[in-house]
A and B are shown apart, each in its own frame.
Chain A
Amino acid sequence: GAVVSQHPSRVICKSGTSVKIECRSLDFQATTMFWYRQFPKKSLMLMATSNEGSKATYEQGVEKDKFLINHASLTLSTLTVTSAHPEDSSFYICSARAPPGTGGGETQYFGPGTRLLVL
């Protein structure tokens, strides 16, 4: 149980284009999902918290107009990198919070990540 998928696993795009990354909780409903960015050999950096049916909460320094997050259903959150530039190249990971009452506490389950390369 508690499987999270992420698509695509890797994407290469040209500078100036937009890229959408999907994060799905496959066997549970997730009212809260998270989007992280990870630089090589570094820890996870939280970008935003995504709550179903409401606007995402962005961390300080993250451009909300550049990184659009939509959490339209209890099993799907999307991250769109708009007008991508080479400096946006990174590894993006989503996670979903375990549902209350499942015994998972505040556990987050992670997708496999998306490697974005902007040329």
Chain B
Amino acid sequence: AQTVTQSQPEMSVQEAETVTLSCTYDTSESNYYLFWYKQPPSRQMILVIRQEAYKQQNATENRFSVNFQKAAKSFSLKISDSQLGDTAMYFCAFGPDSNYQLIWGAGTKLIIKP
């Protein structure tokens, strides 16, 4: 079975610090996609960043970057210069190429303190 594990239920950092959220997954698929979504208190799910498994280069989106380790099946999210608006639940998701469904981690609650 394909699974996604986020081992940090909650994290808290000071504004402007860098924080890394961890995500591991288990699959036998060779081609897939990985995502980080953010859910702020408004509960709107927002795509933060996506990674295609066949690309070795780590994806980056402004202050957000990933460390994708395919062999280790690890997909961590690094947030640099954290801002108060980054406070949210962050979900890691795995999307196999064989179907269109996403498999979700349990989420990490990130609190940015002023």
Contact = CB atoms under 8 A, between A and B. Distances in A.
Interface of A: 32, 34, 38, 42-44, 46, 49, 91, 93, 95, 97, 105-110, 112-113
A107 B47 contact: yes
A107 B45 contact: no
B91 interface: yes
Interface in B29-54: 33, 35, 37, 42-47, 50, 52
Contacts of A112: 42-44
23 contacts: A32-B100, A42-B107, A43-B91, A43-B104, A43-B106, A43-B107, A44-B104, A46-B102, A91-B43, A95-B45, A105-B33, A105-B50, A105-B52, A106-B33, A106-B102, A107-B35, A107-B47, A108-B102, A110-B44, A112-B42, A113-B43, A113-B44, A113-B45
A109 B37 CA distance: 10
Interface of B: 33, 35, 37, 42-47, 50, 52, 91, 95, 97, 100-102, 104-107
B50 A109 contact: no
A112 B101 CA distance: 19
A46 to B, nearest CB: 6
Given A43-B105, A106-B95, A107-B33, A49 B100 contact: yes
A25 to B, nearest CB: 14
B101 A49 contact: yes
A contacts with B: majority SS: strand
Nearest to A38: B43
A91 B89 CA distance: 15
B104 A106 contact: no
A107 B37 CA distance: 10
A97 B100 contact: yes
B91 A106 contact: no
Contacts of B43: 38, 91, 93, 112-113
Contact of B45 (A42, A105, A110): A110
Given A44-B45, A112-B42, 16 more contacts: A32-B100, A34-B100, A43-B106, A44-B91, A46-B101, A49-B101, A91-B43, A97-B100, A105-B50, A106-B33, A107-B33, A107-B47, A107-B50, A108-B102, A109-B47, A112-B43
